[in-house]
Amino acid sequence: MTDNLATERQADIRTGRLSDAEIEQNFTDKCPPLSHAEALIESDRCYFCYDAPCTEACPTEIDIPGFIQQIRSNNIKGSAQTILTENIMGGMCSRVCPTEILCEEVCVRNIHEDKPVSIGLLQRFATDPIIESNTELFSRGEDSGHTVAVVGAGPAGLSCAHRLSMLGHSVVLYNRDQKPGGLNEYGIAAYKAVNDFAQREVEYILSIGGIDVRSGVSLGSDLSFPDLQQQYDAVFLAFGLGGANKLGLPNEDIEGVLSAVDYISDLRQSENKGGLPVGNRVVVIGGGMTAVDIAVQSKRLGAEFVDIVYRRGAKQMGASRHEQELAQTSGVTIRHWAQPTRILLDDRVTGMQFERTELDAEGNLRGTGEHWSLDADIIFTAVGQTFTDEVFGEVAGDFEYQYGKLLVNDNRRTSVARTWAGGDCIFGHDDLTVTAVQDGKLAAIDIDRFLETGQQGDEAWQT
């Protein structure tokens, strides 16, 4: 598609661009699981390094050579236990974790210009049978008499709740959505986790017992933070980010300008994906994983032209190189060094105008004054989500913040007594499921230490 000025025309937005068979094919598993024979062959490629760089690169510190060795010796249950002990959401992480920039990137086979061991696929091979059969690997600890409130049922909250239950504490898990799972349920591309896997994994996690899930409850409107502190022995905050950032342009609320996060959620929950309206010409603003997810899924729903426009270069994009290549091989055009300046419209959106960008001598982004435009039936905004401390009410000022997010120490303690936090709502988080799982695990271990010893104070806040 050429960079031409938007022209007045009838918007081409409709359902059923593709047949049911085409939709089903387009939303099958992105990476089919390994067969038993393939897993044995792949596991045999591992060098089983003593000082394994792959384990060092894993945010949850899974013993990767260990679990691969167990697959090699046909101890699948033992392999799954090695994985899930460190990462209770190892099944979902095997599907959505950017292994190409973590464990697989540092695989020593890369040194020899060889293909790295397929760690993610091996992890899936080990964990899927356990989750599918609901094989019990973990048990609830002896009741400690303590109860912890966990706010948010995404990866961080579920990880924290599961570990707390293993340690014998009771958990009340508050969830603003109707289903637990957070972004794993509502926020990732449908082709990355098919056949309702996100909910099956949640059911496996909750099967340990001792976790009371209360859905449809939001902090700030249905739930008071001071009340939580009064009612529970400790609080873990994992409520993510509440809203989507705006472009800051006039007419941003006009018909045809949509939130990528909201559309992905609708697509994830839809039983008839072909029944969702999709534009023929789609423009996505942003450079992260959400931008790629909405762009690729728009193509898979039948959009003819899909463009991602990002204000900086390919190296600065939040989406990994692998995800960028997936978009491009799916027919998505990625345009760099351009920022949106004006929404083109008549009674609804018809396109968007951009200004080319560059870095100045100090490395700051600036516009060049050169403008160009793209036609669009639908514009998706995927420019990040926002954190608001309004959910805390009058005690919001008691927390320490950095760049608008909660500041925590290495054990995920906040500056407020008996309160921990993890996931997207904390400063320094990288928006990965695997990192959120580690946040929840580390917080649970520290909460347990606090409940056993009663130690909490300024010295505990220091990193």
Q: Where are the beta strands (DSSP E) in 313-429?
A: 333-335, 338-345, 349-359, 365-375, 378-381, 385-386, 401-402, 405-406, 419-421
| Top-tier CATH class for 13-28+244-381 | alpha beta
- The label of the residue with tokens 């936090």 reads 421
Asked if 237 contacts 414 with a C-beta cutoff of 8 angstroms, the reply is yes
Which amino acid type is present at position 313? G
Which among 189, 56, 175, 181 is positioned nearest to 119, based on CA atoms? 56
User: Phi and psi at residue 14, in whole multiples of 5°?
Assistant: -160, 170
Measured distance CA(402)–CA(426) in Å, rounded: 9
pLDDT for the residue numbered 460: 52
Which among 406, 391, 387, 434 is positioned nearest to 184, based on CA atoms? 434
> How far is C-alpha 10 from the chain's CA centre?
36
> Going residue by residue through the chain (463 aa), what tens digit of pLDDT does each one get?
334 444 445 689 999 999 999 999 999 998 889 999 999 999 999 999 999 999 999 999 999 999 999 999 999 999 999 999 999 999 999 999 999 999 999 999 987 778 999 999 999 999 999 999 999 999 999 999 999 999 999 999 999 999 999 999 999 999 999 999 999 999 999 999 999 999 999 999 999 999 999 999 999 999 999 999 999 999 999 999 877 789 999 999 999 999 999 999 999 999 999 999 999 999 999 999 999 999 999 999 999 999 999 999 999 999 999 999 999 999 999 999 999 999 999 888 999 999 999 999 999 999 999 999 999 999 999 998 888 888 898 899 999 999 889 999 999 999 999 999 999 999 988 889 999 999 999 999 999 999 998 775 445 555 4
Residue 183's contacts (CB-CB under 8 Å, 6 or more residues apart) are: 154, 155, 240, 433
User: Phi and psi at residue 434, in whole multiples of 5°?
Assistant: -65, -35
Residue 145's contacts (CB-CB under 8 Å, 6 or more residues apart) are: none
pLDDT for the residue numbered 5: 42
Pairing verdict, β 257-259 and 278-279 = unpaired
With 0-12 CB in 10 A as exposed, 13-18 as middle and 19+ as buried, what is 411? middle
Q: Could you give the C-alpha distances from 427 to 344, 387, 440, in angstroms and in order? A: 36, 10, 15
User: Phi and psi at residue 243, in whole multiples of 5°?
Assistant: -130, 170
Instruction: Give the three-state DSSP class for 252.
Output: coil
Element (H, E) at 4: none
How many of the other CB atoms lie within 10 Å of CB of 113? 6
pLDDT for the residue numbered 430: 87
Q: For the domain bounded by 36-133, which CATH number is listed?
A: 1.10.1060.10
pLDDT for the residue numbered 389: 82
pLDDT for the residue numbered 67: 98
pLDDT for the residue numbered 218: 93
The answer to whether 36-133 and 147-242+387-461 have equal CATH topology is no
| Top-tier CATH class for 147-242+387-461 | alpha beta
pLDDT for the residue numbered 394: 86
Q: Can you read off the two tokens belonging to residue 229?
A: 């502190």
Q: What does the DSSP assignment read for 410-431?
A: TT-B-SSTTEEE-GGGBTT--S
Domain boundaries, the chain: 13-28+244-381, 36-133, 147-242+387-461
User: Phi and psi at residue 196, in whole multiples of 5°?
Assistant: 60, 35
Measured distance CA(385)–CA(376) in Å, rounded: 23
Q: Where are the beta strands (DSSP E) in 136-291?
A: 147-151, 170-175, 211-215, 234-237, 243-244, 257-259, 278-279, 281-285
Asked if 23 contacts 273 with a C-beta cutoff of 8 angstroms, the reply is yes
Asked if 375 contacts 350 with a C-beta cutoff of 8 angstroms, the reply is yes
pLDDT for the residue numbered 10: 66
